[in-house]
Amino acid sequence: MRVEEMNGIPDKWLNVVAQFVMGLRNDSGLDFSKPHLRPSVARVFPLFVFLYALVVAVGTISNLAVIWTVAKHRLYRNPTYGYIINLAIADIIKCVLVLPISLTILLVQNWIFGSFLCFFLPMLQDIPLHVSMLSFLLIAVDRYRLMLDPTKPRMPSFVCALGTWLLAVCIVLPYPIYITYLDLGNFIQNHFDGVGICAVNLVDDMQEYMRGLFIVMYVLPLTVISYLYVRVSRELKVQEGPLAVMMYEARNREDGSRTDSTCQDFRGSQQDCEDSHYSCRGHGVRSGNYDMYEAELDVRKEKRNQKYLISMVTIFAICLCPLMVLRVAKLALAETYENSGHFDITFMLFVWIAFLPTCTTPCLFASWRMSRIAKERLRGYFRFSNRKIRRGCDTAVQGPQQRSVHVHNMAYNERGVG
C-alpha cells in the first residue's frame, strides 16, 4: 500500500486501517475480496468449527423436538409451556442463523460481508438472547401470580411471547447509531475493492449504552427472577393449607372435572364431609381428605416444575455471564495488534459458552417430561454394570418370600406339635 493511497482515508480511520493491514500477509498479489483466516486462530479454528457445529446440530434438533412434544401433547394450554415454545424458537434462531454467521465473522480477518450485515449483525445476535431472558422473566412472573391467587386467570402466553420479540427489537435499535462502515475500495484501488471495515465506538461513545444494556437486560431481570422464585419456593414449602385447596379448585375449574352435584366423600358419609378439615365450597367439591390428597399432588407437581425452571434459568445466566462481562470490558480495554489474538480466541470461546443453553434447556425439558421409570431405565444404559441394581431388586423380592416361608414353617411345626 502506497502512502498516497492512504491520504484519502479520514484521520480517525488511519489507526484502524493500520491494524487491519498488519493482520494480513504482505503480499502484493493477495486478493482481499476473498475471505482470509485470522492468523491468531490458524491453529485452533478446526476445534472451534467442530464445537460450534456440535451446538448447532444438537440445539436445532433438540429444540425442534421440544416444539413437537408440546404441540403433540397440547401442553401449550398451560402458559408455562407457551413460554417454553418461545424459548425453543429463539434457540433455533441462535443455532441456525446467529452461531454460523458469528463464527464466520470471528474467523475471517477481512470484512467482505457488506454494509448491511455490518449494521444488522449486532442486532441479530442480541435479539434472541433478549427474548430468552424476557421469556424466563415472564415464566417467573406468571408462576408468582399463580401462587398468590391460583383462581386468577393466567397471562396469555402467546401474546406475551410476541411482546418479547417486539421489545427485544426495540432494545437493539440504537445499535446502528454506534456502528460505522468504511468501504476501503473508495480510497484504495485494486487490492481492496469490495473490502470494508466494520467498527464501533469511533465517534460516539458506546460504553454507556453497553453498560445500560448489561444492567437492564441481564442484572435486573435475573434479580427479579431470583426474588420471584424465592417467594414461590417459600409458598410451596407448605403442602397443606389454603394454597393447596385453591390450586385444586382452580385445576378442576380449568379441566371441567367438577361432576359431583352433592358434597359426598368416597365413603358416602355426609357427616364426614361436614366434619372434614376444609369445608365444602359450592357444588362439585369432594371431601376434605380427597381434596387435600389431590391438592398435595398438585403442589408436589409444582415443586418439580419449580426445580426444573430454576435449573434452566440458572444455566442460562451462568453461561451468558462471561460474554456479557467481556462485551462491557472490551470497550474499556485498548485492543492492539499484540493482544488482538487473545481477544479473538477468548471471544469465540465465550460466544460458544453463551449459546450452550440451546442444548441444555431441551435436555432439562426432556428430563422434566420423562417418567421416573424411563429415567431409571436411561440411567441403567449409561452404567457400566447393573449388578448393584439387580442385587437390590433381588433382595427386595426375596426378602418377603423368605419371611413368608419362615412363617409357614413355624405354623406347620406348631400344628405338628399339637
Domains in the chain: ranges and CATH:
4-239+299-373 (1.20.1070.10)
Calpha distance 333→199 (Å, rounded): 15
The pLDDT, as a whole number, for residue 415 is 42
Cα torsion through 28, 34, 35, 39, rounded to 10:
-10
The pLDDT of 133-149, averaged and rounded, is 92
Lowest mean per-residue pLDDT among 44-48, 198-202, 310-314: 198-202
> E strands of 268-375, at which residues?
none
Q: With pLDDT > 70 as the criterion, what percentage of the chain qualifies?
A: 62
Q: What is the mean pLDDT of the chain?
A: 75
Task: Read off the pLDDT band of 123 (50, 70, 90).
Answer: very high
Based on its alpha-carbon atoms, the radius of gyration of the chain, rounded to whole angstroms, reads 31
Task: Specify which of 108-112, 177-181, 327-331, 351-355 reaches the highest per-range mean pLDDT.
Answer: 351-355
Cell numbers for 362: 431441551
- The answer to whether the beta carbons of residues 88 and 69 sit under 8 Å apart is no
The pLDDT, as a whole number, for residue 270 is 39
- The answer to whether the beta carbons of residues 30 and 110 sit under 8 Å apart is no
Task: Read off the pLDDT band of 414 (50, 70, 90).
Answer: very low
Lowest mean per-residue pLDDT among 309-313, 316-320, 358-362, 401-405: 401-405
Cα–Cα–Cα angle for 387, 389, 391, rounded to 5 degrees: 65
Dihedral sign for Cα atoms in the order 407, 408, 413, 416: positive
Lowest mean per-residue pLDDT among 149-153, 248-252, 262-266, 337-341: 262-266
Calpha distance 319→313 (Å, rounded): 10
- The answer to whether the beta carbons of residues 226 and 306 sit under 8 Å apart is no
Position with higher pLDDT, 280 vs 199: 199
**83 Cα distance to chain centroid:** 11
The pLDDT of 213-234, averaged and rounded, is 94
The pLDDT, as a whole number, for residue 186 is 66
The pLDDT, as a whole number, for residue 271 is 38
The pLDDT of 31-41, averaged and rounded, is 77
Cell numbers for 152: 386468577
Residue type for 313, please? Answer: V
- Report whether pLDDT(145) > 50: yes
